[in-house]
Every structure is written in structure tokens, then in C-alpha cells.
Amino acid sequence: MQLTRRTASAVLTMAVTASLAVGPALVQPAAADATRAERGSITSECANAQTAWALAKSAQASAHRTVVKDRKALRKARHTHRAATIRKAKRHLKRAKRVYAVRTHDERVQAARVGYACSAPTSSAHAAGTGMKLNLLAGATGAAGKVIDASQLAALLEQLLPGVTGQLDAGQLSALLDGFNAGALSPDAANVLLGSVFTPDQLLGLLGGSPDPTVVLALLGNIIDELSGLSGVPVPSTLDTTALQGILGTVTTLLGGLTGGATGGGTGGGPLCGLLGICL
């Protein structure tokens, strides 16, 4: 009987040990699958913004190290009591501080890009941002400085994506309207909203009102994609370059018929801060 108890205890110990060894092996694949699924759910726009932010943070850190190094060099130069050496060290430090300020500003812009690009596609922030993109499209088609009301917005949205207005809630429609009427975007604001889609030169062309026609079509396609994400209305499978050109012609006519008016933009920081909660 004593031997039987010992045998049973040994068997139980072996079973517990085996379960502890196998447990992590069972959990780890599930965790890995969840991680892969989470990564797969990140949009390319969000991923691009995260990459740009990481690069900006690295550049900012490098610039800060240069400032620290040049400060030490200036202290050392002062101990020499040589005017030429001190002036040279001061020039280096001044230049390093200027570069650091630029890098810090860029890091803030890229962080704001991540905040917008990685937010939920149905959020009010995305709705307001889409309204701002519509305003940018208006400027790119020669209709800058326009303001619209709710009925004009609905007519415009239906030309872009038929059936979309019926699937948007009051908060989203209000944010779209506020975004459009917020006024012209600054380069920083345009970077936050579209930096993952266009190059800096393409954004400057859009802001200047004389962009490449292919860039205007790409902006139009991006707006339609945003509206689809906001509403759940699918983008038509027939939406090719020819269809986009037709939509652009109709939208240009609608925008051109709107009246001009005072808007709240100009700096771009105000609309981003007030509507998107992104304050640069």
C-alpha cells in the first residue's frame, strides 16, 4: 500500500510538470496570432505615420545630443580664454539649437499624424479631417474661400459617394461641415492629414492651388475612401480613373457655384486643435 501511494504521487507530479511545460506552448501561439491580427488591422496610412514618427524622434534625439556636445565644447572653449575659439563654439551651439528646434517641431507634427491616422475611421476627428480635405479639394479646383451649409454639404457628399449621407450620424455630419468651413490649411495641418498619402512637394502644390491633376484625383479618391470608412458604404467597384474624373467635374461645378465667405482657418493650428484635438 505504501508503494502504491508513492507511485500515485510520482504520477501526479509528472502530470503537473507536463501540464506546466505544455501550457506556455499552448498560450504562446494564441498570443502570437492575436499580435499578428492586431498588426494586420493597422492601416497603411497609420503604419506610414508611425514610421515617420519613429524617424522624427530619432532625428530629434540626435539633434539633442549635438546640442549637449556643443554646450560642453563651449564651456571648454571659455576655459581657453581665446576669443576666436569661443566665437566658433558659440556658432556651433547656435546652429545646433536651431536644428534641434526644427527637429522638435517635426516630431510634434509626426506625432499628430499618428494621432489622426491611427484614430478610428468612424470618429469625429476623421469626419472633421475629411471636411478639411474637402476644403483643400475646393482650393485645388479653384474654389478656395467657400463656405457651405448642411444641405450643400449633403449634395456634395452624395456626388462623392451615393447613399453616404443616410449612413452618417448627426455628429459626423456636423464635424464634416465644421471641417470644411474651418478655412485654409497650413502646411503643418496638411501634413497631419495627408502626410501619409502625399509627398511634401505634392502637398505644397495642393496648398498653392496649382497641383498636378493626378494628385487632385488621388486626393478625391482619398476623400471617398474616408467617407466609406466613416459610413460603412462601400466604394463602388467601378471607381477607376475615368469615374474619378467624372466625379471631379461634377464636384468642381458644385464647389464653383458656392458663395465665398469668411472662414476660421488660415493658420491650420486652430482647426486641428479645436476640431481634431490635435494642438501643435
pLDDT 10s digits, 191-229: 999 988 899 999 999 998 778 999 999 999 999 999 999
Distance in angstroms (rounded) separating the CA atoms of residues 220 and 205: 15
Count Cβ atoms within 10 A of the Cβ of residue 273 and give its class: 0-12 exposed, 13-18 middle, 19 or more buried: middle
Greater confidence, 65 or 262? 65
pLDDT digits (tens, 9 = 90+) for 84-98: 999 999 999 999 999
3-state secondary structure 155-221: HHHHHHCCCCHHHCCHHHHHHHHHHHCCCCCCHHHHHHHHCCCCCHHHHHHHHHCCCCHHHHHHHHH
Judged by average pLDDT, the poorest of 55-59, 222-226, 270-274 is 270-274
Tell me what percent of the residues of the chain surpass a pLDDT of 90: 59
pLDDT for the residue 261: 55
The pLDDT value recorded for residue 224 is 96
**How large a percentage of the chain has pLDDT more than 70?**
78
What pLDDT was estimated at residue 18? Answer: 45
Give residue-wise pLDDT tens across range 7-55: 555 544 554 444 444 444 433 443 334 333 334 457 888 898 999 999 9
CA dihedral of residues 148, 150, 156, 158 (deg, nearest 10): 180
Q: Identify the pLDDT of residue 277.
A: 60
- pLDDT number for residue 146: 86
Q: Dihedrals φ, ψ of 80, to 5°?
A: -80, -20
pLDDT value of residue 155: 93
Higher pLDDT, 73 or 259: 73
pLDDT at 240 over 60: yes
Rg (CA), the chain: 28
Which pLDDT tens digit goes with each residue over 93-118? 999 999 999 999 999 999 999 988 89
Average confidence (pLDDT) over 256-264? 63
Map out the domains of the chain as residue ranges.
Answer: 44-117, 124-276
119, 42 contact by CB (below 8 A): no
pLDDT value at position 19? 45
| Mean pLDDT for the stretch of residues 239-258 | 90
CB 142 within 8 A of CB 258: no
Specify the 3-state DSSP secondary structure of 241.
Answer: helix
* pLDDT at 142 (0 to 100): 86
* Beta bridge pairs of residue 146: 260
Centre a 10 Å sphere on the Cβ of residue 219 and count the other Cβ atoms it contains: 24
Cβ atoms of 242 and 231 closer than 8 Å: no
Look up the pTM and report it: 0.73
The mean per-residue pLDDT over the stretch 150-174 comes to 94
